[in-house]
Amino acid sequence: MSTFFGLETAKRALAAQQNALYTVGQNVANANTEGYTRQRVNLTATDPYPAASMNRPAIAGQIGTGVEAGEIQRIRDKYLDVQYRENNSKLGYWTAKSDALSKMESVMDETDSDSSLSNTMEAFWESLQDLSTNPEDVSARSVVLERGKTLTDTFHYLSETLSQDKKDVGSEISVSVNDINSILEQISDLNKQIAALEPNGYLPNDLYDKRDILVDKLSSYLNITVETEKSGGNAKANADGIYNIKMTAADGTSVYLVQGSSYNSVEVQNGVDSDGDNIIDSPPASGEMVGITVGGIQFAVSDANGNVTFPQGKLLGLIESYGYQYTDANGNTVEAGTYPEMLDSLDKLAYTFGTVFNAVHEKGTDLEGNAGTAFFTFGSLTDYKGAADAISVNSSLTYSKIAASANGDPGDGSNAINLASVEDFDLSSNAVSLEGFSSMLNIASLGLPFTTGTINSNYEGIIGKLGVDAERANNLEANSSSLLESVETNRQSVSSVSLDEELTNMIKYQQAYNAAARMITMNDELLDKIISGMGVVGR
Amino acid sequence: MRITQSMLARNFLNNLNTSYSKLAKYQEQLASGKKINKLSDDPLSAMKGISYRRTVAQVKQYEDNFSEASTWIETTNDALDEANQVLQRIRELVVEGSTDTETPSDRQSIADEVEQLRDQLVDIANTKVNDKYIFNGTNTTEKPISTDISTFDGSTTLGINNNPVKIELSKGIYLQVNADGSKVFSDDLFKDLKDLISDLNAGTSANGFDRYLDKIDAHIDNVLSELSQTGARSNRLDLMKERVSQQELTATEIMSNNEDVDIDQVYTDFSVASGAYTAALKVGAQVIQPTLLDFLK
């Protein structure tokens, strides 16, 4: 055993405690860093002296040789990461839906706003009632004409605003796709760096943290699973390895988004490249979203039965809001989604209202004694699609051509009452009785897109569905947000830096350092005794 | 469970945000006076609100229709009353003219007065209210009597329109508001008056003047019958008006219950939430606890 054995042990202790102190410093420094995982130095005792062997020195037992800093490890629970990412996908999905529905709600403002569709309908109805009591009055007639125009303007406004909002969601899809691809690229880069470091026995904790932040971010867009692959070489047992990130659809289709140092770009099927980077990131120029392609594999939004199969996440929430299409079992293209459905409903409503109104108007007689003409026109439409945008008051209609009379006399307002009743007509009826006419109106034969209920009840249905959908999305957003919050709390409990803890550790390591230094002094004194104090007897 | 500073800060922020958004919600409700400010706040109430608001608007519109109807009925009533008085005066003149002591010149002056009264009847028939002729059925833009009445002898017809003018007073409930002009101002009336005037001018009547009394009485009965119908309509109008204003009251109340905030309730909630918020802030100041650092020398 060497004379300097004690010095060596103390020196090792100094180095190890210093190492631990620096790690405390790193933890304290990053106490508020987003995504930082606290680190711990695993101190291990070095091999004792002498090693067991046949010709070991004859000393009693083995003497410890000190300490070394084994490795610096992140304190993290992988299982919590899995939970976090699952819930993050749900939150991303419901946030996207809730945002789109809230926006739509404020456009279709039906909570007592003067400009709402039901209020303009009501104003039109009131003008028709006034007309029925003063059918020969020019001002009453002009008001009907103007209120009719206001009603068509409201249809146009709603249709245009919703279409514009839909386009905005389309650009958000494009931004999301680009963001996803950028995240995938960064993760694959990090994989590459990690794969270069790990085989040499390093634990690149800060790269791990960066990579985990990116995977967390990716999980809000898409529901993904992370598979790890060991690096090989002299990689430590605690090394995280390479992340292979997989996306699986409900129908079993799956693809690796990231595999080692390579990644597959996410692109919009049949879409448009909006920024010239050779990544197809925007929804198709015509029609709705069909799906997403990753590395040549297609992920359809929905199957032939209309069940959504695309993995949950913000991207799906955006696609469902923007609108998607699928081919059903009969080979027909079906369009679905929040915006297309609302626009479709408005078209149906405008077409139904305009057509029934025209049918009643044409039965009446105007102030000049001529039969009524069409009150509303739909441009060159062949069916109801696009009616909300196309509906307008017949341009050749003057106030005197409003057919308010049933019997032909200018003072008869019976047909104005019929016109006012249009919104309450039973749309399934083939014999609606009209005031002042003996013949019935066959609404069922008009070929309307709505075949049951009344115009009012159908509109209330549309608004009710919007309200319920928005309420559901808001509730589920709040739910998944609080679930995510509780997982995040658990994660923080494991991984975040506690200053008290670090300071306690600091004291612990500092005292150990001081004690080791004292050991050196003690050894020094021992040696000094031998060197300076011995062999000087009697001097 | 291991609790760290960053967790405390995070929790504190979350809770603060929750109580702040509650404050915002109550503040919005108090400011707007409405329980529901978005459809998704309460889709069911919001949907009910649409139909309640429609009911209220409709009831208000029907109240406008009521005033229109009552203008019609009142003016018709006044005009018929006047027509009745004119006919009563004619009857008195007939009685006077049939007296044997009347000289031919007396009868001529009676004829002059009857002629004036006849013209007054034509004026009454052509009564115009709000630019509408009220005794020409639904043909309100044309005079009911446009022919020269002094030459009218019943060989042609006046052609007064007898279509009912109806006003909707409640969903599907109509009230006829005009009187039948063709009954009150009948062809016979003016033919009889022409005969009477020419007989009076002639000073004699083939079958005596008494026979005109029965005829005038029949015409007076026509007017009285229309007058009583108009009175009955006026009563019905009053009854319905009462009912509709009751309806408006009920509909407005239901609508208000459905969507208006209970100020006391919301204000109390607001105070509670505001207390919770202040408490959260105070606790927050405490939560940012001194660390061990503060005690290390």
Residue of A nearest to B129 (CA): A134
**Cβ separation of A467 and B47 shorter than 8 Å?**
yes
Q: Give the pLDDT of residue B290.
A: 67
Q: Give the pLDDT of residue B279.
A: 87
Closest CA to A171 of A92, A271, A253, A249: A271
Residue A191 and residue A260 in contact, taking contact as beta carbons nearer than 8 Å? yes
Alpha-carbon distance values, B100 to A339, A436, B95, B193 (Å): 94, 55, 10, 20
The pLDDT tens digits of the residues spanning A53-65 come to 888 887 888 889 9
Per the prediction, chain A carries an average pLDDT of 92
Interface probe for A, chosen from B4, B36, B66, B177 (most Cβ of A below 10 Å), is: B4
Q: Give the pLDDT of residue B288.
A: 64
Question: Same domain, yes or no, for A282 and A245?
Answer: yes
Residue of B nearest to A414 (CA): B166
Among the partner-chain residues B47, B132, B138, the one whose CB lies closest to the CB of A460 is: B47
Q: How far is residue A203's CA from residue A74's CA, in Å, rounded to a whole number?
A: 9
Q: Give the pLDDT of residue A539.
A: 66
Question: Same domain, yes or no, for A358 and A328?
Answer: no
Q: Alpha-carbon Rg of chain A, whole angstroms?
A: 38
Query: In chain B, what residues touch A125 (CB-CB under 8 Å)?
Result: 57-58, 61
State how far Cα A402 lies from the chain centre.
51
The two beta strands, B166-170 and B173-176, are antiparallel
Residue A314 and residue A169 in contact, taking contact as beta carbons nearer than 8 Å? no
Q: How far is residue A82's CA from residue A111's CA, in Å, rounded to a whole number?
A: 42
Residue ending a domain, among A289, A318, A339, is A339
For A288-335, the DSSP string reads -B-EEEETTEEEESB-TTS-B-SPPSHHHHHHHHH-EEEE-TTS-EEE
Per the prediction, chain B carries an average pLDDT of 88
Question: Same domain, yes or no, for A181 and A245?
Answer: yes
Q: How far is residue B3's CA from residue A474's CA, in Å, rounded to a whole number?
A: 30
**Cβ separation of A410 and B69 shorter than 8 Å?**
no
Question: Same domain, yes or no, for A283 and A240?
Answer: yes
Which residues are registered as beta bridge partners of B139?
none
Question: Same domain, yes or no, for A279 and A354?
Answer: no
**Cβ separation of B38 and A136 shorter than 8 Å?**
no
Q: Give the pLDDT of residue B52.
A: 87
Residue of A nearest to B35 (CA): A111
In a domain, A538, yes or no: no
What part of B 55-94 touches A (C-beta under 8 Å)? 57-58, 61-62, 64-65, 68-69
Query: In chain A, what residues touch B132 (CB-CB under 8 Å)?
Result: 134, 136, 411
Position A2: which residue type? S
**Cβ separation of A133 and B141 shorter than 8 Å?**
no
| Range in A476-490, A525-539, B217-231 with the lowest mean pLDDT | A525-539
Rounded to an integer, the average pLDDT of A96-101 is: 96
Domain count, chain A: 3
Interface probe for B, chosen from A114, A133, A141 (most Cβ of B below 10 Å), is: A133
3-state SS, residue A101: helix
Which residues are registered as beta bridge partners of A300?
A291
Closest CA to B160 of B178, B189, B183, B176: B183
Instruction: Spell out a b/e string for B252-264, using b for 16 or more CB atoms within 10 Å of the CB, else e.
Output: beebeebbebeee
Which residues of chain B fall short of a pLDDT of 50? none
In a domain, A210, yes or no: yes
Position A161: which residue type? T
Question: Same domain, yes or no, for A206 and A306?
Answer: yes
pLDDT classification of A39: cutoffs 50, 70, 90: very high
Residue ending a domain, among A443, A461, A479, is A461
3-state SS, residue B156: coil
Instruction: Give every CB contact of residue A177 below 8 A, 6+ residues apart in sequence.
Output: A266, A267, A268, A279, A281, A292, A315
Query: Over A123-178, what HEC string results?
Result: HHHHHHHHHHHCCCCHHHHHHHHHHHHHHHHHHHHHHHHHHHHHHHHHHHHHHHHH
Report whether pLDDT(A235) > 70.
yes
Q: How far is residue B190's CA from residue B172's CA, in Å, rounded to a whole number?
A: 39
**Cβ separation of B138 and A507 shorter than 8 Å?**
no
Residue A74 and residue A208 in contact, taking contact as beta carbons nearer than 8 Å? yes
Q: Give the pLDDT of residue A536.
A: 75
What part of B 156-215 touches A (C-beta under 8 Å)? 161, 163, 165-168, 171, 174
**Cβ separation of A411 and B51 shorter than 8 Å?**
no
Q: Give the pLDDT of residue B206.
A: 65
Position A201: which residue type? G
- Within a 10 A sphere around the Cβ of A364, how many other Cβ atoms? 27
Q: How many residues does chain B have?
A: 297
Question: Same domain, yes or no, for A403 and A454?
Answer: yes
**Cβ separation of B292 and A463 shorter than 8 Å?**
no
**Cβ separation of A105 and B65 shorter than 8 Å?**
no
Query: In chain B, what residues touch A471 (CB-CB under 8 Å)?
Result: 39-43
Highest mean pLDDT among A90-99, A235-244, A529-538: A90-99
What part of A 486-505 touches B (C-beta under 8 Å)? 488-489, 492-494, 496-501, 503-504
Question: Same domain, yes or no, for A315 and A240?
Answer: yes
Report whether pLDDT(A537) > 90.
no
Question: Same domain, yes or no, for A26 and A138?
Answer: no
Burial class (CB in 10 A: 0-12, 13-18, 19+), B207: exposed
Instruction: Spell out a b/e string for A506-530, using b for 16 or more CB atoms within 10 Å of the CB, else e.
Output: beebeebbeebeebbeebeeeeeee
**Cβ separation of A133 and B68 shorter than 8 Å?**
yes
Q: Give the pLDDT of residue A181.
A: 96
In a domain, A39, yes or no: yes
**Cβ separation of A133 and B166 shorter than 8 Å?**
no
Q: How far is residue B131's CA from residue B141's CA, in Å, rounded to a whole number?
A: 8
Q: Give the pLDDT of residue B147.
A: 85
**Cβ separation of B7 and A102 shorter than 8 Å?**
no
- Please determine, looking at this structure, whether the domain spanning B50-255 carries the CATH number 1.10.1030.10: no
Among the partner-chain residues A106, A410, A463, the one whose CB lies closest to the CB of B139 is: A410
Query: In chain A, what residues touch B67 (CB-CB under 8 Å)?
Result: none
**Cβ separation of A105 and B64 shorter than 8 Å?**
no
Q: How far is residue A24's CA from residue A334's CA, in Å, rounded to a whole number?
A: 60
In a domain, A491, yes or no: no
- Within a 10 A sphere around the Cβ of A210, how many other Cβ atoms? 18
Q: Does B137 touch chain A (CB under 8 A)?
A: yes
Among the partner-chain residues B138, B140, B293, the one whose CB lies closest to the CB of A407 is: B138
**Cβ separation of B47 and A456 shorter than 8 Å?**
no
Rounded to an integer, the average pLDDT of A455-470 is: 92
- Within a 10 A sphere around the Cβ of B177, how many other Cβ atoms? 26
Q: How far is residue B65's CA from residue B68's CA, in Å, rounded to a whole number?
A: 5
Residue of A nearest to B57 (CA): A122
**Cβ separation of B49 and A507 shorter than 8 Å?**
no
Q: How far is residue A114's CA from residue A120's CA, in Å, rounded to a whole number?
A: 7
State how far Cα A487 lies from the chain centre.
18
Q: Give the pLDDT of residue A275.
A: 87
- Within a 10 A sphere around the Cβ of B272, how many other Cβ atoms? 12
ipTM of the complex: 0.83
Question: Same domain, yes or no, for A361 and A316?
Answer: no
In a domain, A383, yes or no: yes
- If you search the block for the tokens 């904790």, which residue do you land on? A205
Residue of B nearest to A505 (CA): B292
Among the partner-chain residues A31, A105, A497, the one whose CB lies closest to the CB of B39 is: A105
Query: In chain B, what residues touch A494 (CB-CB under 8 Å)?
Result: 2
Question: Same domain, yes or no, for A67 and A88?
Answer: no
- If you search the block for the tokens 């007076």, which residue do you land on? B220
The pLDDT tens digits of the residues spanning A388-418 come to 999 999 999 999 999 999 988 888 999 999 9
Q: Does A460 touch chain B (CB under 8 A)?
A: yes
Q: Tell me the nearest-neighbour CA distance from B45 into chain A, angstroms.
A: 10
The pLDDT tens digits of the residues spanning B84-95 come to 999 999 999 988
- If you search the block for the tokens 């009751």, which residue do you land on? B246
Tell me the residue range of the domain where A288 lies. 82-106+173-339
Question: Same domain, yes or no, for A201 and A305?
Answer: yes
Closest CA to B187 of B141, B121, B92: B121
Report whether pLDDT(A261) > 90.
yes
Query: In chain A, what residues touch B165 (CB-CB under 8 Å)?
Result: 411-412
